[in-house]
Copies of this chain bind each other. A is one copy, B any other.
Amino acid sequence: METNKTLVSIVGAGPGDPDLLTVKAYRCIREADVILYDALIDERVIDLFPESAKCIYVGKRAEDGTCQDVRQNNIYELYRQFADKKLHVVRLKSGDPLIFARGVEEIRYLQEKGIPYEIVPGISAGLAGAAIFGIPLTERAVAPSLLLSSGVLLSEGLEHLKPSIALLKEGSAIIIYMSIKRMREIKTYLLQQGISAETGMVILSKISTPDQQKWVGTLEDVDAFLADGIPSPSLVVLGKNVHTLR
Contacts and interface: CB of A to CB of B under 8 A. Distances in A.
A113 to B, nearest CB: 13
Interface stretch (A31-39, A74-82, A149-157, A210-218): A149-157
Number of chain A interface residues as a range: 35 or more
A222 interface: no
A142 to B, nearest CB: 9
B163 A154 contact: no
Interface of A: 12, 14, 17-24, 26-27, 96-100, 102, 104-105, 107-108, 111, 119-124, 127-128, 130-132, 134-141, 144-150, 153-155, 160, 162-164, 166-167, 170, 172, 245-246
14 contacts: A18-B23, A23-B26, A98-B127, A98-B137, A104-B139, A107-B245, A119-B246, A121-B123, A123-B123, A138-B148, A144-B150, A144-B154, A145-B150, A163-B164
Given A96-B127, A99-B137, A144-B155, 6 more contacts: A98-B135, A104-B245, A108-B245, A121-B123, A122-B123, A147-B167
